[in-house]
Structure 1
């Protein structure tokens, strides 16, 4: 990619006394001890923090209130645990609960002798999951406690950062986003009884989780500011990007996506064409050209999506997720329905895509049950959308992974392209 050299005035306009750039710099430079120690993506560290929060005897000051709120939210509306329901948990006394990490290879194990309950928590911040885990863990728990009276009722809970269902359906799913709702509520209720050091630490932790879960309003505002700065100072920033540092992910993407990387430009991967939206050191966002052609028939902005990605109701992106070891990772291809302001129209789009999931060969389309619930704004829907990357610094391996995922999921893109014209016709009459 070759760009023109900016003038001195253009450099000064961006870098000298630029309030927007100063705000962005302050945001990126803010102190967070979890981020400073590079623990924000380490699943084992999140397990340690959660085990501390869930333990009624620990120093956080919540007693069993966070434990009960977390377990009840996971079990809400489910019968996966048979005799244990969300109401049972809310009405129980769990102050005797013992919380263990990595007991029998279980991420977090909770035992309440008073209630004769055991909870197996599988924590998947980024790592992949495996089938049949709860049955195996339940057997271990019963074997370990069979000599001590009646074995406890064993409940499985699947905690995930992403919009991902457990492969083992006997696990009750809960997302990290629920922690972002439950924890601030409890902190507000406790008020001054929480220690200052605990409150500060929890705010730092919530900042990390909100950003990872896409729930940070400040992050959304800063991303909008970054896009505004880019539009205003595109020439300078393109020059900086051209001659600045790159990552192996970016090198891989440049190899795979052929064309000029400018907003709304068309790039190609083999015989397939995509509308490029943007990228950073670990992700690149785009849309199949067939989707864009349909969306642009509307002739006006899609309300609610004006500041979201490319401004359309759908987006796709490839993202490289780092494993706890820092050397390997997982490359994922995401597709998501965004924040359409018209709920009925958003629900209609989700419904049409859902129907495709019932077609033979398109089993990889699968929404969360509440994806079309009023108030939901972001709903991912692709499964079988990941490949393992053994070396994060091997651009060739990453580029092969990108092509593998694009090839694997192209039938889904084609199928969705086929339903969009009729959906857009309906939107034209609604919006």
Structure 2
């Protein structure tokens, strides 16, 4: 049997009477009314759910418990510019029962006002949509202009992975943090909760588990399938995963200029219609692989992100398990950057428990996403003129050659 015939056999064996695959299918198809309503796919529906949970007067009968736990979690994070004087103890010992929760006030996803606490929390919720630099500045100015006497203002940038906010006045949280808060509340209050309310919130936590890749049963099952059918799965991914988006068509055209490793070379590199994650070959040869799950197999990665009218190129450091090593890496890059190629936030330079830190982000306008030639032209302009991709990457490689992060065969 030659190599091609053997692959055919392994793929057929993978899909035929595969008990593990049938279990996975059953797991994925478990009944969840929120999945039926596609809550997992739309930011507006996540925001509706979160607004309901945060409102003390709503019929979940949890009073201000969710709101207070969320505020306390936010205050555990560092921020460059504070617009409040609150301590966590202030929140836990106060009542927020008077809090009013508004949806889409002046296009702000969620606005929470507690007059008794002289307090405003407002949330920009990003699940799948692109980054919103200009929106964050606009929203905080709106709040300050319309509520000039409010003493405590907490702006929150909520994303799928807890990305750092591209604005010094915003805290950041991930949907995984929301999941942890809700799981804690359900565990502690199950015996006292209305059964229908408990089930409804539990359906939502299951949605978040899948969305944030924290469903332990699903993860265990997928790992077991991959262990037994690795070759067949990698062949299916290599030849079966395609994207017809203009972003990825443009990236394919420029692959030789990028000289990079993306999804087709390494399935652990993320690919979607709106994002293309990749590592330059020169950088890949210097970096160990990550232990913690990320959209890249390496701790430093580039990715293109397609937004409504813009194309963005981002260079980011991911979740290195050793916090001291991650902290040392960020400070090393920051201290050896005479040309200001990197823009690392001061808060990231202090933290040893960081997960996602942006090193550089640049963008260009895109007038017509349906025109591949136009997208290629804008991508080249972004790479060469705006981001200065070759210059940045050459310098980054030279720095990492003198920093002991590990070899490509190591895991960190």
Please say which of residues 117-126 and 381-390 is displaced more in the overlay. Answer: 381-390
The alignment partner of 1:120 has SS state of strand
Task: Work out which of the residue numbers 246, 251, 257 in structure 2 matches 1:269.
Answer: 257
Task: Work out which of the residue numbers 293, 313, 329 in structure 1 matches 2:285.
Answer: 293
The alignment partner of 1:422 has SS state of coil
Taking the aligned partners of 1:68 and 1:306, their CA distance within structure 2 comes to 30
Q: CA deviation at 1:233?
A: 1.2
Alignment of 1:23-422 (within 5 A): 23-76=23-76, 80-125=82-127, 126-127=129-130, 128-130=132-134, 131-142=137-148, 151-161=149-159, 162-213=161-212, 215-217=214-216, 221=220, 224=223, 228=227, 231-233=230-232, 237=236, 241=240, 246-248=243-245, 249-257=247-255, 268-269=256-257, 272-274=259-261, 276-278=265-267, 280-282=271-273, 283-295=275-287, 302=288, 305=291, 312-320=298-306, 333=314, 335-340=316-321, 342-356=322-336, 358-366=337-345, 369=348, 372-374=351-353, 378-385=355-362, 395-396=372-373, 399-400=376-377, 402-403=379-380, 406-407=383-384, 408=387, 410=389, 411-422=391-402
Q: 1:134, 1:168 within 8 Å by CA — same for their partners in 2? A: no
Q: Provide the aligned length of Structure 1 versus Structure 2.
A: 393
Q: CA deviation at 1:52?
A: 0.6
Q: What stretches of structure 2 of length at least 5 have no aligned partner?
A: none
The alignment partner of 2:400 has SS state of helix
Taking the aligned partners of 2:225 and 2:370, their CA distance within structure 1 comes to 27
Q: 1:10, 1:236 within 8 Å by CA — same for their partners in 2? A: no
Taking the aligned partners of 1:399 and 1:211, their CA distance within structure 2 comes to 34
Q: What stretches of structure 1 of length at least 5 have no aligned partner?
A: 143-150, 258-267, 296-301
Taking the aligned partners of 1:25 and 1:371, their CA distance within structure 2 comes to 44
Taking the aligned partners of 1:314 and 1:168, their CA distance within structure 2 comes to 22
Q: CA deviation at 1:290?
A: 1.6
Taking the aligned partners of 2:110 and 2:206, their CA distance within structure 1 comes to 22
Q: CA deviation at 1:49?
A: 1.3
Q: CA deviation at 1:88?
A: 1.7
Please say which of residues 216-225 and 11-20 is displaced more in the overlay. Answer: 216-225
Q: 2:331, 2:349 within 8 Å by CA — same for their partners in 1? A: no
Q: 1:54, 1:67 within 8 Å by CA — same for their partners in 2? A: yes
Q: CA deviation at 1:352?
A: 2.3
What does the per-residue CA deviation read over 1:333-369, in whole Å, with 9 as the maximum and x for residues that have no partner? 45333444x444343333323435x533314444863
What does the per-residue CA deviation read over 1:363-419, in whole Å, with 9 as the maximum and x for residues that have no partner? 444486388525x5x433244255566666655555556545544262333222112
The alignment partner of 1:269 has SS state of helix
Please say which of residues 28-37 and 284-293 is displaced more in the overlay. Answer: 28-37
Q: CA deviation at 1:89?
A: 1.6
Please say which of residues 219-228 and 194-203 is displaced more in the overlay. Answer: 219-228
Q: CA deviation at 1:39?
A: 3.6
Taking the aligned partners of 2:36 and 2:378, their CA distance within structure 1 comes to 30
Q: 2:84, 2:154 within 8 Å by CA — same for their partners in 1? A: no
TM-score by length of 1: 0.74
Distance 1:350 1:22, change over 3 A: farther
Distance 1:245 1:416, change over 3 A: closer
Q: 2:312, 2:361 within 8 Å by CA — same for their partners in 1? A: no
The alignment partner of 1:424 has SS state of coil
Taking the aligned partners of 1:192 and 1:212, their CA distance within structure 2 comes to 27
- After superposition, the CA RMSD in angstroms is 4.0
Q: CA deviation at 1:201?
A: 2.9
TM-score by length of 2: 0.77
Taking the aligned partners of 1:225 and 1:329, their CA distance within structure 2 comes to 40
Q: CA deviation at 1:223?
A: 6.1
Q: CA deviation at 1:30?
A: 4.0
Q: CA deviation at 1:185?
A: 1.0
The alignment partner of 1:123 has SS state of strand
